[in-house]
């Protein structure tokens, strides 16, 4: 597995080894030992799968302590623009964001540690995301901020996304 550090400490772009042949391909999407070697030693306790249509934007979401979540995001079908924002007040990159193209074709995965908000926008006709979480979902500890907050300044590849009511009502950063 190729581990690519990002400008946000702890956020890692991961490229698994892919073994293609005439029948299709094989890849190892998670191996606890290989991930620990890459510095990812959390225990994943929940898997989620979401499907969204083109121009859907989900975010910016996070879960507060004591149930904050590390996430490992992978696209099974389609393509997304995936964004992480540093929420750690003592971090030198507090409030900074970075975006990544993840697709079923490039096989890339994104590890987003606790202390970051996460959001994505669908670039293809539809996209299926599979993501592992290090803690269980706790609705009472969910948080979020506006996807288009100028204080953060995320450059999204869409200007009029499809949003949930919840995402439409998020407060500023």
pLDDT of residue 167: 97
pLDDT of residue 163: 98
Q: What is the pLDDT of residues 34-48, one digit of tens each?
A: 999 999 999 999 999
> How does DSSP assign 69-134, residue by residue?
--EEEEEEESEEEEEEEE--TTSTTTT-EEEEEEETTT--EEEE-TTEEEEEEE-SSEEEEEEEES
Q: d(Cα 158, Cα 165) in Å, to the nearest integer?
A: 18
pTM of the entire structure? 0.96
Residue 61 annotated as catalytic: yes
- Where do the domains of the chain lie, and which CATH numbers do they carry? 2-16+42-163 (2.60.120.10)
pLDDT of residue 113: 98
Q: What is the pLDDT of residues 80-109, one digit of tens each?
A: 999 999 999 999 999 999 999 999 999 999
The one catalytic residue among 61, 62, 118, 170: 61
The one catalytic residue among 62, 81, 131, 170: 131
Residues of the chain with pLDDT under 50: none
């Amino acid at each position: 597995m190729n581990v690519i550090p990002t400008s946000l400490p702890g956020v890692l772009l991961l490229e698994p080894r892919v073994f293609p042949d005439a029948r299709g391909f094989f890849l190892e999407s998670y191996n606890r030992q290989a991930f620990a070697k890459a510095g990812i030693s959390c225990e994943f306790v929940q898997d989620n799968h979401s499907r969204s249509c083109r121009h859907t934007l989900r975010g910016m979401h996070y879960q507060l302590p004591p149930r904050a979540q590390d996430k490992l995001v992978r696209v099974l079908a389609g393509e997304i623009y995936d964004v992480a924002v540093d929420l750690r007040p003592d971090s030198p990159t507090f409030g900074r964001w970075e975006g990544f193209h993840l697709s079923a074709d490039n096989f890339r995965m994104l590890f987003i540690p606790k202390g970051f908000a996460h959001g994505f926008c669908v670039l293809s006709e539809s996209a299926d995301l599979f993501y592992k979480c290090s803690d269980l979902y706790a609705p009472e500890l969910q948080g979020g901020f506006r996807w288009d907050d100028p204080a953060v300044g995320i450059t999204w590849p869409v200007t009029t996304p499809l949003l949930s009511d919840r995402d439409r009502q998020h407060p500023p950063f």
